[in-house]
Amino acid sequence: MTISKDALLEIRIENIPARFVISAEEQLKKYAAEILAEANLPCGGIEAYGTYKRLVLHISGVPAKTEEKLQKSYGPAARLLKDEAGNFTPQAAGFARSRGTTPDKLGIETVPNKGEVLVFETKIPGRPSVKALAEIFPQIITRLQFPKNMVWEKTRFRFARPIRSLLALYGDKPVVFSLAGVKSGRVTVGLSAKGSRQVKIVSADKYFKALEHANVIVKDEERLKMLRGEIAALSKRMKLVVNADPELLSENLYLIEYPVCVMAGFSQDFLKLPHELVHLVLKKQLKFFTVTDAEGALQPYFVGIRDGVSKGQRNVEEGFKNVLEARFNDAFFFYNRDLAIPLADFKAKLGAITFQAKLGTMADKTARVEKLAGWLGENCGAPVNKEDVSAAAAHVYSDLTTNLVKEFTELQGVMGYYYARNAGMTENASRAVGEFYWPMSAKSPSPSSKEGALVSLSGKLDTLASDFALGQIPSGSEDPHGLRRAALGAVRIILENGFRVNLVEAVSAAFGQLPPEAAGKAAVPLLDFIWQRAELVFAGAGYRFDEVKTVREFFMSGGDLLDCRDRVKDINALRGNPDFAGIAMAFKRAKNILRQAKAPLSGAPEDGLFEKEEERALYSGIKAMTGRLRAHIDKRDYAAGLSELLSIKNSLDNFFDKVMVMAEDPKVRDNRLNLIKSLVDLFEGVADLSQLQ
């Protein structure tokens, strides 16, 4: 019976950022699996853990030896094994000698692209796992990649931060190797807050418990459980809500080895700051958790996480408060200074900020957004307060030059709301300024008012037109200016607000505002780019991709996303009708016939050239429904229009069953093709059903 043991590798390093740890854990597991397989060393499982001070690889169920390996060596062609007399040839003898064997031990095997060749099989016995791991562990460490690396010792080994110790064990045996000037051993250290005392690890399976006794919780899930428990206990004790933000939990998780929550208060005066600013300082800059009441109102408390046990808690609390108050005082200074300056003065400074070299300054961009917002207000098909649109569009970028946004760049747009209110704008116009960059992601909210939506849409269209004019079109995963997000936001804004805007004209208006030196206008590629985002939105609403494709040409020519959605919705609803699939197939057949015929057609057949009753019946059906169908299309009642098309299904089926379209008489043939074209033209007034699968 083979006895298996655990193997363990700990890389103790100087402090690294949390984001490095998350990536390193995934890499440790990936490379361990690959290199173990290459070494023929099986295992029961691979886990990786990490903190800002150590990266840990735990491999369970490792047998005492690597598996025996069968190695094949290939030689000359099989026909060279023996000569005509039955003797081994010099080539066979030479190959055998090079492998330390005799020709009679050679075999024959068929190899792709070579045919039959001589082969010699060697069994490589397994070797002790402790020795194999001494080669495997350094390989794993060497493969780890980080966003930034350091060189700190004479071997010039590159790693995220200097390696201070290496612990490597197989069962109770040390795995001995050296890397970056550090020799592996069985000693690590405990929590730094308690003096980083040395901890000798007896065996790999005792590692986690030994470090727990030294106040280090190595396993991520155990630290997270402990952290959540502390936060829940604080919330219960204070009868308040500590907001356990998942992103902040994840970041704090890798900045601690033994989580201890510290709750402290701050001056009520700081709550006079914009709450978004308070959240930014607490969460983004200080990694503190915010505290609210049951209704979500921000309270003058915060929760910080210290790495260590509760001794000296008061000192830690005071340290946290001092740092927080310094940040808040800076924020107060910048905010109050900004409030004392007219908003127009900040706007005037936009001329000193370059947008893009060929597209002028942010002042130029602001002017374009103002003009485009005015155009959209006149052409969106929805009632809007044009004064609010104009006022908001004039100041969507003004906060970029404020002292506070220069210091806290994440608040651009957000602070625009507060400065607009301070300048005397209406609440609606101010909110339009504050929500200018919305939606920030695929699932985040769009601007809350139609005025805000129009202003945001104008900014997105100008940005898209600007980049496309310069040929800066996203490719692959590259999208440095967030154009996919901008296009998706534009689509969502139009659909969610019911704007019946013609995007062909809107895109043309956006391009028309760009300076002459912004050459290479690309309206069609931009429309197609926007349509690709619309396809995703429609698919997300439950429509099938082939249904969405039926209306693409309507968008490319008319640019009305609402109209496209109406058509897709009605196609989707009628798809359950048993006759619908048949009429769609007939339409596809009709289009294929026209495509193959390649004849110039008018789409106006002559009834005097009809020879069969089936073509006369189809023509009568088409004439009877044409007026009704066009009336339905004019009213955008596409469900009724599709029903009209379904009404001629039997006539169309009979026509294709009984009539040879490609008749020998060219006049009859062309007349039948014109009959089909008249039908296809009617169909395409609703949708291109040939796209349906």
Q: What is the pLDDT of residue 312?
A: 65
- What tens digit of pLDDT does each residue of 178-231 get? 999 999 999 999 987 777 789 999 999 999 999 999 999 999 999 999 999 999
- For Cα atoms 281, 282, 287, give the angle at the middle one, nearest 5 degrees: 115
Task: Label residues 174-208 b or e (16+ Cβ within 10 Å = b).
Answer: bbebebbebebbbebbbbbbeeeeebebebbbebb
Distances (CA, A) of 510 to 85, 360, 437, 521: 88, 15, 18, 10
Is residue 303 very low, low, confident or very high in pLDDT (cuts 50, 70, 90)?
A: very high
Q: What is the pLDDT of residue 113?
A: 86
Is residue 310 very low, low, confident or very high in pLDDT (cuts 50, 70, 90)?
A: low
Q: Compute the average pLDDT of residues 76-103.
A: 91
Which range, of 155-169, 571-585, 623-637, averages the lowest pLDDT? 571-585
- What tens digit of pLDDT does each residue of 641-659 get? 998 888 888 998 898 888 8
- What tens digit of pLDDT does each residue of 366-403 get? 999 999 999 999 999 999 999 999 999 999 999 999 99
| Fold adopted by 4-66+128-213 | Alpha-Beta Plaits (3.30.70)
Q: What is the 3-state composition of the chain as percent helix, strand, coil, each rounded to the nearest 5?
A: 55, 15, 30
Distances (CA, A) of 460 to 276, 389, 452, 486: 23, 15, 12, 5
Distances (CA, A) of 550 to 546, 563, 618: 7, 12, 24
Q: What is the pLDDT of residue 434?
A: 98
Average pLDDT score over the chain? 93
69 within 8 A of 124, measured Cβ to Cβ: yes
What class has domain 346-540?
mainly alpha
Range picked from 47-61, 69-83, 512-526 for highest mean pLDDT:
47-61
For residue 447, report the phi and psi dihedrals to the nearest 5 degrees: -50, 145
Q: Compute the average pLDDT of residues 614-620.
A: 90
Give the number of other Cβ atoms within 10 Å of residue 561's Cβ. Answer: 27
The answer to whether domain 4-66+128-213 and domain 570-691 are alike in fold is no
Q: Compute the average pLDDT of residues 168-176.
A: 98
Q: What is the pLDDT of residue 520?
A: 57
Q: What is the pLDDT of residue 634?
A: 92
Ranges of each domain in the chain: 4-66+128-213, 69-124, 220-338, 346-540, 570-691
What is the distance between the alpha carbons of residues 277 and 132, in angstroms, rounded to a whole number? 55
* DSSP codes, 57-103: EEEEEEESBPPPEEEEEEEEEGGGSB-TTSPBPHHHHHHHHHTTS-G
Q: Compute the average pLDDT of residues 567-578.
A: 91
Q: What is the pLDDT of residue 529?
A: 97
**What proportion of the chain, given as a percentage, has pLDDT over 70?**
98
Give the E-state strand segments of 334-447 in sequence order. Answer: 354-356, 360-361
pLDDT at 661 over 90: no
pLDDT at 84 over 90: no
pLDDT at 482 over 80: yes
Q: What is the pLDDT of residue 615?
A: 87
| Fold adopted by 570-691 | Isoleucyl-tRNA Synthetase; Domain 1 (1.10.730)
> Residue 234 is encoded by which pair of tokens?
């604080």
Residues linked to residue 62 through DSSP beta bridges, in sequence order: 5
What is the distance between the alpha carbons of residues 32 and 174, in angstroms, rounded to a whole number? 18
